[in-house]
Amino acid sequence: MAKRKIRAAIAALALESLSLRSHSMKVAVCLISTMGRL
């Protein structure tokens, strides 16, 4: 489970680095929620 959280965090940081700001945060939340369900 820890590995999934780390991957989700990395994905979130990657999205934030794209300078999408608020939109990237929404996508990050969606990714984390989907990763948690998987």
Burial readout 1-38 (b: 16 or more C-beta within 10 A, e: otherwise): eeeeeeebeeebeebeeeeeeeebeebbeebbeeeeee
pLDDT means over runs of 10, the chain (38 residues)? 88 74 77 83
The residue extents of the domains of the chain are: 2-37
- The predicted model scores a pTM of 0.40
Predicted pLDDT of residue 7: 92
Q: Tell me the C-alpha distance between 20 and 36, whole Å.
A: 23
DSSP H or E segment with residue 15:
helix 2-17
